[in-house]
Amino acid sequence: MSSSHQNPNEDGDVYDHDEPAMLDPNEAGEEIEDDGDAAMDSGSEGEDGGDNDEIMQEIQLQNDSSAHFDAHKDSIFTIAQHPLYPNIVATGGSEGEDLGGIGYIFDSTPDAAPVLPPSYQTSPNEPVERKSLSPIFTLEGHTDSINALTFTLPNGEFLLSGGLDGKLRAYASPKGKVQPWKFLAEAQEVEEVNWMVPCPNPAYPNTIALGANDGSVWVYTVDISSKDAPLQIVQSYFLHMESCTAGAWTADGKMLATVSEEGSLYVWDVFGEAAMAGLTQENGQTVVGLTATDQRFAVEGGLFSVAVAPSGAFVVVGGAGGSIKVVGLPRLGAEASGAAPAGRGGAGAASKGKGGKQAGGKASGAAAAAGQAGQILADLQAQTDGIESLAFAPPPLTLLAAGSVDGSIALFDSAHRFAVRRHIKEAHEEHSIVKVEFVQNSRTGGWLLTSCGMDGVVRRWDTRGGTGMANSGFVAEWRGHRGDGEGGGVLGFVQGDGSRIITAGDDGISLVFESPLA
């Protein structure tokens, strides 16, 4: 065919291929609009679209996990780990829009994942397909997403689930066994459950606290001796004016710290020991109470995270704009209170109101025990966006880690006026960090920190620093989830002693990662 071959256009005119074609802008717009109807897989491998497809496939194929659990049909919002059998994990999430909530208990041991037998393979060289881990038990009965789960302490006899339907459901396992599980009881006092944490106080086993969207805080205990009502309310609190976003027990399980979207912090005297020692405020319920009306404490945008120092000397709260406040706590113990724990259900204000020699004899000790209670000890600002997660290193280390929506991790030294020891600005690039947690075992010295984020990656850091990622202390990372922008992210994890990490994925998958570093 000659290079001067001429073709007619729509108006019957002709144009020559040897000369550039001049199109009317309107015609160009029409052509672009028509091109939009082309199939997404159109184009050759050498075109941009083909290259992008290849790159996306490579990202999706990268999977560092040793096992997976994929029974969920939608996002996994929460994950919990059995305190005695760390291989036993519970996950909770959504079955899909308008389909209620669903949860599962499964064994995260990679050997528990079945594989296809050779008879299912179409050729001898075909790799054996790894099948999903199988559920031990299904958590049903929630009419909306399950977004909070916890096993009770100290023995994990019960699993409790909280949902956006406001229901609190309890499941039981025979003592000392991990299966079979069975539904035990249900309670509902709120519209939505935001979070749940187990109480570590050995005097009050099988007790948990939860926070709700209406700002209320509830403490329940599971008592199977009460067949009619095994879920019993220990305390309920109503001082937060907006949604209660996070809660944390002191290490001894005697006090509970909670924060709210309106910027308030309350530390509750759950079992009445502070009241008996004369350490509660006038309301008889709290040992510390701070709100945004105190300008020194005000955080515009609210508070989202809370952690209590292992020593119990102070509580740390994190909020919008990267703001972190450190608040002193009273010394509450045998030496400070001079009293045995109150009975189940908490003494609260009633104990404080008791007169006579018992109350008067504690007056001088109470002043000393109060110490710096309620004082703002530090006001920290190292990050630029909301503080989603706070975690303390195990003693004798004195580090505090803060994970931010800006994708960074800040490390503060509480023993040196909360000096910033390291700011890992690109910890999860520009993707929000969901959780940070120190590895708790004697082999690692407590220096290792694990983090996850909306980039779909789990990373581990040596908080002493190092050569990885420009001296950030980067040690390792694990991939397999879809990241932000692809309908994914890691919404939580559990890690036991650090040797195995199990995730909750926004993509509906739970992955099991093995870590020889711990």
Separation of CA 48 from chain center: 38
Q: What local confidence, expressed as pLDDT, does residue 114 receive?
A: 62
Q: What local confidence, expressed as pLDDT, does residue 174 receive?
A: 73
Q: What local confidence, expressed as pLDDT, does residue 468 receive?
A: 59
pLDDT (average), residues 334-353: 40
Q: What's the mean per-residue pLDDT of the chain?
A: 83
DSSP 474-490: EEEEE--S--TTTT--E
Give yes or no for residue 127 having a pLDDT over 80: no
Q: CA 349, 355, 359: angle at the middle one, nearest 5?
A: 80
Q: How confident is the model at residue 23 (pLDDT cuts 50, 70, 90)?
A: very low
Give yes or no for residue 121 having a pLDDT over 90: no
Give yes or no for residue 26 having a pLDDT over 50: no
Non-local CB neighbours of 477 within 8 Å, separated by 6+ positions: 457, 458, 459, 460
- Residues 394-429: tens digit of each pLDDT: 999 999 999 999 999 999 999 999 999 999 999 998
152: which DSSP letter? -
Q: What local confidence, expressed as pLDDT, does residue 113 receive?
A: 65
Q: What local confidence, expressed as pLDDT, does residue 465 receive?
A: 75
Give yes or no for residue 248 having a pLDDT over 90: yes
Helix (H, G, I), strand (E, B) or coil at 500: strand
Helix (H, G, I), strand (E, B) or coil at 273: helix
Instruction: Report yes or no: 281 and 349 within 8 Å, Cβ to Cβ.
Output: no
pLDDT (average), residues 251-261: 97
Percent of the chain with pLDDT over 90: 67
Give yes or no for residue 275 having a pLDDT over 60: yes
Instruction: Report yes or no: 314 and 307 within 8 Å, Cβ to Cβ.
Output: no
The pTM for the full model equals: 0.81
Residue 296 token pair: 């020194």
Q: What local confidence, expressed as pLDDT, does residue 1 receive?
A: 41
pLDDT (average), residues 97-121: 77
- Residues 434-452: tens digit of each pLDDT: 999 999 988 888 999 999 9
Q: What local confidence, expressed as pLDDT, does residue 453 receive?
A: 96
Give yes or no for residue 386 having a pLDDT over 70: yes
Task: Decide which of 42 and 472 is more confident.
Answer: 472
pLDDT (average), residues 123-141: 81
- Residues 277-331: tens digit of each pLDDT: 999 999 999 999 999 999 999 999 999 999 999 999 999 999 999 999 999 999 8
Q: What local confidence, expressed as pLDDT, does residue 422 receive?
A: 94
Q: What local confidence, expressed as pLDDT, does residue 338 receive?
A: 37
Domains and CATH numbers, the chain: 71-119+130-238 (2.130.10.10)
Q: What local confidence, expressed as pLDDT, does residue 28 receive?
A: 39
Amino acid at 70: D
Peptide bond between residue 180 and the one before it cis (omega within 30 degrees of 0)? yes
- Residues 344-381: tens digit of each pLDDT: 444 443 333 333 333 344 444 555 566 688 999 999 99
Peptide bond between residue 154 and the one before it cis (omega within 30 degrees of 0)? yes
Q: What local confidence, expressed as pLDDT, does residue 510 receive?
A: 97
Peptide bond between residue 110 and the one before it cis (omega within 30 degrees of 0)? no
Q: What local confidence, expressed as pLDDT, does residue 57 receive?
A: 43
Q: How confident is the model at residue 170 (pLDDT cuts 50, 70, 90)?
A: very high
Beta strands at 303-308 and 135-139: parallel, antiparallel or unpaired: unpaired
Residue 370 token pair: 């109060």
Q: Across the beta sheet with 217-222, what order do the strands follow?
A: 193-198, 207-212, 217-222, 231-237
